[in-house]
Amino acid sequence: MPHIVVKSYKEFATPVKSDGYEFLWFARGYANTKDTLVAVRFEEHQFFLTIKPKDVHYIIKGDKITRIAPTYILKGALKYFCKLANCDVVHDNLSSIKPVHIDKAKSFLKDIDYFIEHFPTKKEVWIEIGFGSGRHLLYQAKNNPDIQFIGIEIHKPSIEQLLKQIALQDIHNLLVIDYDARLFLEFVPSNIVGKIFVHFPIPWDKKPHRRVISKKFIQEAERTLKPGGVLELRTDSRAYFDYALELFLEREKSKLEVTKNIEPPVSSKYEDRWVRLGKDIYDIRMYALQESPQIDLHFDFTFSKISSYKHFVENFDTKPKVYNDYFIHFEKLYKIEENRFLAEVSFGSFDRPTHLYLLLSEGSAQYYPKKPIASQANIKAHKKIEEFLNV
């Protein structure tokens, strides 16, 4: 990932603007961290740079929680930060700032808030999870212009490669999101999806809880699929096939189709690799049988008046708090200025936690850089966090 190693840097007065980047404030390690965070705004994006002391140097890079894509935005922020902070640079890896074609394609990259607020529902939706090189997704999008495609990935280089191809091939029916697919389906309206492709998911033999296909995922897929819609799993792993088939069969009612070594309309990068090695390829298709009820995705994560944030700050407790079906973990605390703090917190469900910051000042608290998404576990954790801030 892009980073700069410096011998020294100087904090500068904020807020300040440089080449489209607005540097808003510094937050310095106060409890459980020696890092400094720099809040940055670029167009509609807000994120942090992290300054990490390492031996006699500092490593400056993008913050993981507020991570920003495409990478050229981060590279620009690092470059302009160092210009303002008079960095004494030892080393950097920012050789290219702006990839060709990315500007045009950027409009196809959407964040989760976009999908929660404006989920595209005018056309039938097809979703590909973990599109990798994007070969299958691009093929489907070009050949089905009346369908709205959504590609979900967590691997940034794959996302950037797909965005470039969308621009080069002039495709207009494909939106991309950098998000964990295990969470995404919770935010898809019911009964609007025609197909969900999960092709060659990582088998995670040693960490099965990280698998994309799970009981909850199948439930959510069935809810989002319209009657007759299909969830298609394609895998070279016999163990994953067996695991998934068992889960599909746990459903009270289900219509499944199993095939082996059937050639697809287009072969993905992984498929090519496994076929070259002579492996068998298995498909399971699960068809949705009925309409599902609609879901409500809106919850107001605003805090009411905070009575005792000082108590919270002075007794900052990093011990994870575990409840029946959610947890809260206050991890690090930063000081921005007198009476203004920033807490790093993770919370929500155990297998798909939310990582965010809390901006705290006299009488008020708010999530930063944005509110959590309205999963049931997040709503419960929010109510508990509010209690902690009002002890």
Which residues are near ligand SAM by CB under 6 A? 129-133, 152-155, 158, 180-182, 199-202, 212, 268-271
Q: Are 350 and 327 in contact (CB under 8 A)?
A: yes
Query: What minimum distance in Å lies between the beta carbon of 153 and ligand SAM?
Result: 5
Q: Which residues of 141-154 are buried (b: 16+ CB within 10 A; e: fewer)?
A: beebeebbbbbbbe
DSSP structure class, residue 132: T
Question: What is the smallest separation between the CB atom of 136 and ligand SAM, expressed in angstroms?
Answer: 6
Select 46 or 267, whichever has its Cβ closest to ligand SAM: 267
Residue showing tokens 């994120």: 47
Secondary structure class of 376 (helix, strand, coil): helix
Check: CB of residue 63 under 8 Å from CB of residue 38: no
CB of 8 to ligand SAM, least distance (A): 37
CA distance 214 to 347: 21
Closer Cβ to ligand SAM, 76 or 348, answer by number: 348
Q: How far apart are alpha carbons 252 and 131 in whole angstroms? A: 30
Strands 321-322 and 327-337 turn out to be antiparallel
Does residue 152 sit in helix, strand or coil? Answer: strand
For residues 157 and 278, which CB has a smaller minimum distance to ligand SAM in the complex? 157
Termini Cα distance of the chain: 40
In the complex, least distance from residue 129 CB atom to ligand SAM, rounded to whole angstroms: 6
Residue 36 or residue 158: which is nearer to ligand SAM going by CB? 158
Cα distances (Å, whole numbers) of residue 290 to 157, 185, 226: 38, 17, 7
**Which CB sits closer to ligand SAM, 153 or 344?**
153
Distance of CA 296 to the CA centre of its chain: 21
Residue 268 CB, shortest distance to ligand SAM, in Å, is: 3
**Closest CB to ligand SAM among residues 24, 116:** 116
How far apart CA 241 and CA 198 sit, in angstroms, is 12
Residue 298 class from Cβ within 10 Å (0-12 exposed, 13-18 middle, 19+ buried)?
A: exposed
Rg of the chain in Å (alpha carbons): 23
Q: Are 215 and 249 in contact (CB under 8 A)?
A: no
Q: How far is the CB of 109 from ligand SAM (least distance, A)?
A: 14
CB of 357 to ligand SAM, least distance (A): 23
Closer Cβ to ligand SAM, 153 or 186, answer by number: 153
Minimum CB distance to ligand SAM smaller for 39 or for 65: 65
Q: How far is CA 272 from CA 127, 211, 268, 285, 334, in A?
A: 22, 22, 6, 21, 49
Min separation Cβ 183 and ligand SAM, Å: 8
Q: How far is the CB of 52 from ligand SAM (least distance, A)?
A: 26
Q: Which is nearer to ligand SAM, 158 or 292 (CB)?
A: 158
